[in-house]
């Protein structure tokens, strides 16, 4: 049991609010959150960007993956306050400014890479980062890219196809390397 003064300190820490500045999908946002607010909850419930999903809250399933300064990161394993100043891309930010789907999104549609769609945002962000790093993956490398994400519906075969298809679409669009969607 914590002492009374420790309890009071804990209670205070639960309620003290911090300003967090983020650039989310290219838009500067500021939120006031308690220190313990998970980044996933901040995105979903404070910023109402509910495309990022929470499947396990312990960093295994990958559904909550977002791009943090371009790098795939599990938003359920991070506090919002620690992301202060970061540029974040969520699934909502993968779509092109003109509304067309990104190569990865389009590839999932082409290859029937999703069923219930709950894990999908995490796959899309993970693959987006993976292809930025390795634009021409072999099938084995495609599997490596998605090795840390769980899907219970598809059996993964069509997701692997979608990774390769996305690489093909990116090549056709002349996109190479980091930063490109």
Partner 1 sequence: MTAMFGEPIPRVEDDRLLRGDGAYLDDLGHDALAAAFVRSPHAHARVLDIDVSGALDVDGVAAIYAYEDLDGRVAEPLPLLIPHPALTHGRTGYPLAAGEVNYVGEPVVMVVAADRYLAEDAADRIMVDYEPLPAVVGVDAARAAERLVHPDVPGNVAGHLVQENGDAVAAIASAAHTLDLDLYIERSASTPLEGRGVLARWDTESRRLRIWTSTQTSTGVRAAVAAKLGLALADVDVITPDVGGAFGVKIVHPWPEEVLVPWAAKLLGRPVKYTEDRIEHFVASAHERGQRHQVRVGFDDDGRILGLDVRFWHDNGAYIPYGLIVPIITSTQLLGPYKPGAYRVEFSSLYTNTVIVTPFRGAGRPQGVFVMERTIDAVAAALGLDRAVVRERNFIRPEEMPYDQGLIFQDGRPLIYDSGDYPAALARLKAMVGWDGFAAEQAAARAQGRRLGIGLACYVEGTGVGPYEGAHVVVETSGKVKVATGLTSQGQGHQTVLAQIVADELGVPMRDIEVVTGDTRAFGYAVGTFASRTAVMSGSAVALAARAARAKAIRVAAAALEAAPEDMEITGGIVGIKGDPESGIALGTVAVLSNPLRYAFDEAAQAATQFAGGDAGAPPVAEGDEPGIEGRAFFSPLRSTFASGVHAVIVETDPDTAEVRILRYCVVHDCGTLINPRIVEGQIHGGVAQGVGGALYERIAYDETGQLQNASFMDFLMPYV
Q: State the residues that interact with partner 1 by CB under 8 A.
A: 14-15, 34, 36-37, 44-45, 48-58, 60-61, 63, 90-92, 94-95, 101, 105, 108-110, 112, 114-121, 124, 143, 146-160
Long-range CB contacts (< 8 A, 24+ apart) of 24-33? 24/49, 24/88, 24/89, 24/90, 24/93, 25/49, 25/88, 25/89, 25/90, 25/92, 25/93, 26/93, 31/80, 33/80, 33/81
- Judged by DSSP in three states, 74 sits in strand
Quick one: 68 or 160, whose CB is closer to partner 1? 160
Q: How far is the CB of 175 from partner 1 (least distance, A)?
A: 18
Q: How far is the CB of 144 from partner 1 (least distance, A)?
A: 9
Quick one: 152 or 171, whose CB is closer to partner 1? 152
Q: How far is the CB of 142 from partner 1 (least distance, A)?
A: 9
């Amino acid at each position: 049991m914590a002492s009374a003064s420790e309890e009071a300190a804990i209670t205070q820490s639960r309620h003290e609010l911090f300003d967090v500045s983020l650039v989310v999908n290219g838009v500067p946002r500021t939120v006031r959150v308690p220190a313990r607010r998970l980044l996933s909850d901040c995105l979903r419930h404070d910023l109402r960007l509910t495309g990022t999903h929470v499947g396990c809250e312990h960093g295994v399933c990958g559904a909550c993956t977002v791009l943090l300064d371009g790098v795939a990161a599990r938003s359920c394993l991070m506090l919002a306050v620690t992301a202060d100043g970061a540029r974040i891309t969520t699934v909502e930010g993968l779509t092109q400014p003109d509304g067309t789907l990104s190569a990865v999104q389009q590839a999932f549609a082409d290859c029937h890479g999703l069923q219930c769609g709950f894990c999908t945002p995490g796959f899309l962000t993970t693959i987006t980062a993976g292809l930025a790093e390795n634009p021409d993956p072999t099938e084995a490398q495609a599997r490596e890219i998605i090795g840390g994400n769980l899907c219970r519906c598809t059996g993964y075969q069509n997701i692997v196809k979608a990774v390769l298809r996305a690489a093909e679409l990116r090549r056709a669009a002349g996109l190479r390397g980091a930063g490109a969607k």
